[in-house]
Amino acid sequence: MANYLLAYHGGGMPETEKEQQRVMVAWGKWYEKIGNAIVDGGNPVGRTKTVARTGRITNGGGKNPITGYTIIKAKDLDAAARLSKGCPVLKSGGSVEVCETFDVM
């Protein structure tokens, strides 16, 4: 089984404590559903900088910045994508980029 990076794009931050609790419950339920597939539960992403090939450094993550990540294991890319369909970031208008990772060292 390979590892897959689930890169979250967009979505919204809860504005109230009650909404934050609701969102955290949703993440907890999703994590329970995918269970042992989780390798690293991940975290939201805060401030970012982008380094261009020229060496120029700019603030922000480009046109579609990553807002968080999770690493899961799955039998293939399609299975990883299916596991991602229940991700709470989707309910807040975000998307999930599913990326296969592999060892090179």
| Predicted confidence (pLDDT) at residue 15 exceeds the cutoff of 90 | no
Beta pairing, strands 2-9 & 57-59: unpaired
pLDDT score of 98: 98
What's the pLDDT tens digit per position in 37-78? 999 999 999 899 999 999 999 999 888 899 999 999 999 999
1 or 83, which is more confident?
83
Q: Global pTM?
A: 0.89
Give the pLDDT band of residue 36 (cuts 50, 70, 90). Answer: very high
- Which residues, 6 or more positions from 13, have their beta carbon under 8 angstroms from its beta carbon? none
